[in-house]
């Protein structure tokens, strides 16, 4: 079945550092790929998405590129802020729309 693997956390960075959170997937067919973010005490919010190979999703300074050859969708940001502290989930959707999530990566950014 479909699966998503994220890099183990937690990740702790200083403000303005470069962020990478690795995500790889296993799926049949051609899934869409997503990054969701969960801020403390809040629900899941869509951060960005990509629907086909080589697409780049971007939002709020975050980027991720759909790499079919490496089955990856790594999340990057050039300069993180304290307000980026949250849990980040990589997910894929199958042809029926159902989402399969990774286990989540906790990011903490210190001033």
Residue ranges that bind other proteins, judged by CB under 8 A: 4, 32, 34, 36, 42-46, 49, 51, 89, 91, 93, 95-104
How near is the Cβ of 78 to other proteins at its closest, in Å?
25
Q: How far apart are CA 69 and CA 39, in angstroms?
A: 32
Smaller CB distance to other proteins: residue 80 or 90?
90
What is the DSSP secondary structure assignment for residue 31, as one 8-state letter? Answer: -
Smaller CB distance to other proteins: residue 83 or 103?
103
Q: Which residue has the tokens 């550092």?
A: 17
Smaller CB distance to other proteins: residue 45 or 81?
45
In 3-state terms, what secondary structure has residue 80? coil
Q: Does residue 92 contact residue 31 with C-beta atoms inside 8 Å? A: yes
């Amino acid at each position: 079945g479909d699966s998503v693997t994220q890099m183990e956390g937690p990740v702790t960075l200083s403000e303005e550092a470069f962020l990478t959170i690795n995500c790889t997937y296993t799926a049949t067919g051609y899934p869409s790929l997503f990054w969701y973010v969960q801020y403390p005490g809040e629900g899941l919010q869509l951060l960005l998405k990509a629907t086909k190979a080589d697409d780049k999703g971007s939002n709020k300074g975050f980027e991720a590129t759909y790499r079919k050859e490496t089955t990856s969708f790594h999340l990057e940001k050039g300069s993180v802020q304290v307000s980026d502290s949250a849990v980040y989930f990589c997910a894929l959707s199958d042809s029926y729309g159902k989402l399969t999530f990774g286990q989540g990566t906790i990011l903490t950014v210190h001033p």
